[in-house]
Structure 1
């Protein structure tokens, strides 16, 4: 990751809000609605963050919104971004999200409760 590019994008209005909100898969339209961001700005920020590897297409990939059109869902790809300054050098490191599939665990819990009943 180019540190200057990462800092430049994180410094843009709405980018940190989008990253914070994209802990769960959301479309650019959903992010726009939730954060009260102009939709064109939301799409631009999402695209820039995805190019940097900070957002990723969700594995499920697509959703059909209210319009019935296919929408790409995005999810934050990192849990932490660390920027270090060492003399004249600047580095950016990131800690990626764990790939534990919480949705599968949730479905399993729901299934277990419905089969076994409430205890």
Structure 2
């Protein structure tokens, strides 16, 4: 990933907010609702972030309406850019698998129990 490409992608409206919200898996529909953006824009931004390797498909889940949807999680925890001897150096901190599992456990603990869980 080139520094200029990263800056361009992060400069697109909603992309930083989408990356911020996807510390745990979210669908494009959830992001659309949470960020109050049109669904088509949400899908375009998610696709752009996936193509850049900043977001990755986490899996499938069912919505409250019973429809299957893809959920995404950010694949990075941070970026830094430095200027060294006339060059721009990009450092990307990738999200670790251990961190993903910790967030999943925490999310499961926070999720309210439903009658289906008790059966």
Shared fold per TM-score greater than 0.5? yes
* Inter-CA distance 42–107: structure 2 relative to 1 (3 Å threshold): closer
Q: Is residue 42 of structure 2 the alignment partner of residue 52 of structure 1?
A: no
* Inter-CA distance 70–82: structure 2 relative to 1 (3 Å threshold): same
* Inter-CA distance 62–11: structure 2 relative to 1 (3 Å threshold): same
Higher mean C-alpha displacement, 61-70 vs 30-39: 61-70
What's the offset of the Cα at 1:89?
2.2
What's the offset of the Cα at 1:78?
0.8
Structure 1 unaligned segments of length 5 or more: list them: 109-119
Higher mean C-alpha displacement, 84-93 vs 66-75: 84-93
Output the CA distance in 2 between the equivalents of 1:86 and 1:34.
Answer: 39
Please identify the structure whose Cα radius of gyration is greater.
1
Structure-1-length-normalised TM-score: 0.78
When the two chains are superposed, the root-mean-square deviation of aligned CA atoms in Å is 2.0
Output the CA distance in 1 between the equivalents of 2:33 and 2:106.
Answer: 28
Structure-2-length-normalised TM-score: 0.78
Structure 2 unaligned segments of length 5 or more: list them: 110-119
Q: Which residue of 2 aligns with 1:27?
A: 27
Moved over 4 A (4+): 104-108
Higher mean C-alpha displacement, 9-18 vs 86-95: 86-95
Q: Which residue of 2 aligns with 1:62?
A: 60
Match of 2:97 among 84, 96, 99: 99
